[in-house]
Amino acid sequence: MPHHRRLIFLVALAMTAFAANSLLCRLALKTSGIDAGSFTGLRLASGALVLWLIVRWRGPAGPAGGSWAAATALFIYAAGFSYAYIQLPTATGALLLFGAVQVTMIGVGLWRGERLHGWQMAGLGLAVSGLLALLTPGLSAPPPDSAALMLSAGVAWGIYSLLGKRLGNPTLATAGNFLRTLPFAALLSLATLPLARLDSAGVIYALASGGLASGLGYALWYAVLPGLAATHAATVQLSVPVLAALGGILFLGETVSWSLALSSAAILGGIALVIGGKERPR
């Protein structure tokens, strides 16, 4: 397979894995008997195991990477993500998550002194307006507590992504961060023990989310990232909420309302304007 076609295929596979996290979590919490706390713990544990095996397979890589700050953000993301999907449809959850991640990262950049120009400012305003429209009380608005949990998960993932920038070995760092989340996951499991429920389908979904969609998905993404321009890497992630929505339609029979479609267009289009503006010389 020519190099560029292989790169496109691997990028598409990584984006599908990221979208699969939303679908697998929603499938588990809607169609199986597993509880959100158990799903979170199994997802993090299986992700840690797969990433550790990948690091060992690649040979000596030095001391464990990551940090407790990044692991804390990773755990907050994973727990908020799971509990939010008890009620949120797949597409709405993925859109809230992605929007919160990008707005957080853009906001931190502005706070650090970065400047947006022209269409970038309009794009940021459009994205924020789309998020606000999605959350406005009405017939199609998501439950506010679940929406708040997913927005919190998105902020945590944005912080995790910022902490992970400039890593020499991102796969090693991610493996270390997943391992560090396990004490937090154990505490969550103890705190929610009276509510714990497991069944075979739920366990399979959780292990697939952690081991395949998270562990292998992140390792694959970091492997292809050096072959992408920074703007292209950011832009291609716009496909994740769309893929998650398609998965919800195909596997859960969910529908996409006009208000969700318009909010999606505003959020994703606005973020695309911000990202695209970074390519233009100042």
Predicted pLDDT of residue 88: 95
Predicted pLDDT of residue 281: 47
Look up the pTM and report it.
0.89
Percentage of the chain beyond pLDDT 70 is 93
Q: For the residues 120-144, what does the mean pLDDT come to?
A: 84
Query: 166-191: buried (b, 16+ CB within 10 Å) or exposed (e) per residue?
Result: eeeebbbbbbbbbbbbeebbeebbee
Integer Cα distance of 46 and 51 in angstroms: 9
Predicted pLDDT of residue 70: 94
The domain locations on the chain are: 3-277
Helices (H) and strands (E) in the chain, counts: 12, 0
Q: For the residues 217-225, what does the mean pLDDT come to?
A: 89
> Two tokens at 94?
């993925």
Q: Round the average pLDDT of the chain to a whole number and report it.
A: 89
